[in-house]
Chain A
Amino acid sequence: AQSVTQLGSHVSVSEGALVLLRCNYSSSVPPYLFWYVQYPNQGLQLLLKYTSAATLVKGINGFEAEFKKSETSFHLTKPSAHMSDAAEYFCAVSEGRGSTLGRLYFGRGTQLTVWP
C-alpha cells in the first residue's frame, strides 16, 4: 500500500509570492500521481496528473509539479500566488498496476492561505 505525506498542513504566502506544496510517496515504483484542489463546500477538482509522460507536469491555473523518482516526491508549485488560490490541496497516488489498479491514496491535505 502507498503512503502519501504532505509536509505542512497549513501554508501561508503573500499574494505574488511563490507557492510550494510538498508531497512525498512511499513506493519506489512510479505510479500515477495527482494534485487535487478543494474549495470550501465543494468536491475536489483535478489540478494536474503525472502518468509517466514527462517529469514536469503543467496543470490548470498556473500550477505545475515535478516528479522526482529518486526523491519519491511530487511537489506542487506556482510562481505567483493569487488570492483565488486559497483552498485545500491534496496529493494523491495510485498503485497504478495489477490487482490494485483502482486503489487511490490521498495525503492529509495542505490548507493554503494567501495574504493580500
Chain B
Amino acid sequence: EAQVTQNPRYLITVTGKKLTVTCSQNMNHEYMSWYRQDPGLGLRQIYYSMNVEVTDKGDVPEGYKVSRKEKRNFPLILESPSPNQTSLYFCASSLEGLAGELFFGEGSRLTVL
C-alpha cells in the first residue's frame, strides 16, 4: 500500500531533550516536506527536499533540522525542543514536486513541556 509513515504519532517530551520524528514513503517520490499545523494558523512549511541531498527552508525553519540521505526518508530533528514547538506535524511527499499530488502522513502530535 502506497503511504507516508510518520513516527512517533504522539510524543510528550521536555524542553531541551533532542528528538527526531521520522518520515518514510514507499512511492519512490522525489519531493518531501514537513509542515506544522497550529489552531487558527493553518499549515506552515518547515523544510522541503526536492531530491536526495537537496533540502531548503520553508516558512518556519527555526529550531528544526532535516536531512535527506536516501530517497525514502526525511527525518525532522528538533535539537533542543521548546514549548513553542508543541504542534501537530505532517510529512508529505510527491512524485513531481508541487506540480504533483502531495500525499500526507497521518501526523505526529508533539507536546514539549
Give bound CA distance, A44 to B4, whole Å.
12
CB-CB contacts of A6-25 with B at 8 A, as 1s and 0s? 10010000000000000000
**Cβ of B2 < 8 Å from any Cβ of A?**
no
Of A9, A43, A51, A96, most B-chain CB atoms within 10 Å: A43
Question: Which of B35, B97, B102 contacts A101 (CB under 8 A)?
Answer: B97
Q: Interface size of B by Cβ–Cβ distance < 8 Å?
A: 27
Question: Which of A46, A96, A103, A109 contacts B42 (CB under 8 A)?
Answer: A109
Q: Is the CB of A43 within 8 A of B58?
A: no
Within 8 A of A (CB), among B86-109: 90, 92, 97-99, 101-102, 104-107
* Chain A minimum-CB-distance residue to B99: A51
Question: Which of A43, A92, A105 contacts B106 (CB under 8 A)?
Answer: A43
**Cβ of B110 < 8 Å from any Cβ of A?**
no
Residues of A within 8 A of B (CB): 1, 4, 6, 9, 32, 34, 36, 42-46, 49, 51, 90, 92, 94, 96, 100-109
